[in-house]
Amino acid sequence: MRGPHNIWRLIRTGATFQRTGAMGAALDAMNAPARVRAAARLLGWPFAWLGYPGDPDLPPITRALTALGPAYIKFGQILSTRADVVGVEMAGHLRMLQDRLPPFPDEIARAQIEQDLGAPVSTLFSEFSPPVAAASIAQVHRARRADTGAEVAVKVLRPDILADFRRDLDAFHLAASLIEFLSPASRRLRPLDVVGHFESVVLGELDLRLEAASASEFAENTRGDEELAVPRPHWDLSGRRVLTSDWAEGIPMADVAAIRAAGHDTSRIAARLLQLFLSHALRDGFFHADMHQGNLRVAANGDIIAFDFGIMGEIDEYTRRVYAEILYGFIQRDYHRVARVHFEAGYVPSDRNIAQFARALRAVGEPIFDADASRISMANLLAYLFEVTERFGMATRTELILLQRTMVVVEGVTRTLDPQINIWATARPVVETYIRSNLGPRALLRDGLRVIEALGRHGPLLPEVVDRQLDRLSRPQPAPVVVERRNPGWLITTILIAIGAAIGAFLA
């Protein structure tokens, strides 16, 4: 239930960060000025006693996020992939949020399976292990089907997880409302829309039948992709709170030392992961949108195993073409082309100067091309990118938030495997293939045929449409009302996509 009572939740959030020491750790990670740290200590210490104590055996940030609940843990999972932003030590602490949280009791999991599937666990499975992994929303058990003997993974939602998420989301909505009220300048970032988008994604993740459908569709789309394995769902042993799928044996993507010890080329795996993500986003418009290390493994043959399809992203065909053109423009260092595409797509308001925007893009892109990846400052680049988005009035595009977030995560994962990965060389073949297939003469011919097909389908309706239009035009028209129009924009925009070396796989 949304309302002022959520102010208490926000106060406890700040107090928990203060009590656990997470506030200081976060400010240290961001290299906050000394006066900011002093102010945080001064304002925070009187309320620290109101915060949740958390597990004192955990590092401060992890302790605070786990105490606050699943929505905060989701945020920590994203940060865990960005050692270049939060620091290697903090990223290592946050990695436990991916799949090493405390599990809930085995008897509760068994009761949920029996209630959802209508039969005792002993009847459905000949073997059923204790939890082998536990994250913010669910935990996983290793099992064996009683009928076929196939080894499977059984994912079970945490009890009361929906109520926990709704409590956090209500507080987030209030925080976004307060931000918009107190800071009109923040409205271009659309905090309320961003929280609403996050809410829709999370609530969809809490129905495992939808995850099974996403896993099935993703497996079909990628069945021809080399070096990728996707466990398939077992529909007869799945329900709203239980998902059974193929068991996939592999080394966790976070264990880089073990991957290398097994003889795998981590640089090749990093490049392949990046190319697969780009292929799925561009070619299919349907991509895995939660690709942190906890959802990725490396098989014995070197294949990348992807699982946990609770959060998936979709991009329509037009947006994919715009995205590809922007990305290709960056690869070619054609900043005027990138700027023109932004204006044509409405990502930048039409009253801004296109030449100035192109120069701003050049200031973002040029330092990255020839720089050693280890010397690129993500914090500095992020600060400049936010300056650019504010200067040119670009607003948040909520429909692209998942793509933006996933690019950050994927780039972070690839850098743990290969800190010196050449983003441009890796991306180029995928982008060029898409450009040839979708922006050349063949694409124009294909688009023309689609228009003809559409006219053929709707041809019988055309006379009626023409008659209605002529009748409308023949009537007296009221005086026109002048309405100011503002083109939609995108806060981080797909330019930030292209600058994968800087902020995400191709987030910029």
Catalytic residues: 290
From 388, 323, 386, 324, select the one nearest 352 (Cα to Cα): 388
Task: Please give the Cα distance from 136 to 114 (Å, whole number).
Answer: 22
Instruction: In whole angstroms, give the CA distance from residue 116 to residue 133.
Output: 21
Enter the tokens of residue 437: 């297939």
Rounded Cα distance, 450 and 445, in Å: 9
How far is the first Cα of the chain from the last one, in angstroms, to the nearest whole number?
A: 36
- The dihedral built from the CA positions of residue 188, 192, 195 and 201, taken in this order, carries a sign that is negative
Residue with tokens 């947006």: 319
C-alpha span between 315 and 277 (Å, rounded): 13
296 vs 290: CA distance, rounded Å: 10
Rounded CA separation 165/182 (Å): 26
Distance CA 364, CA 492 (A): 12
CA 325 vs. chain centroid, Å, equals 21
Amino acid at 145: R
Q: Which helix (H) or strand (E) holds 144?
A: strand 138-145
Q: What is the DSSP string of 303-326?
A: PEEE---SSEEE--HHHHHHHHHH
CA distance 140 to 376: 38
Distance of CA 334 to the CA centre of its chain: 28
Looking at residue 440, what DSSP letter applies?
S
Report yes or no: 371 and 504 within 8 Å, Cβ to Cβ.
Answer: no
CA 58 centroid distance within chain: 26
Strands of 399-458, DSSP E: none
Which residues are paired to 139 by β-bridges? 134, 156
C-alpha to C-alpha distance for 382 and 405, rounded to whole angstroms: 14
Residue 155 β-bridge partners: 140, 243
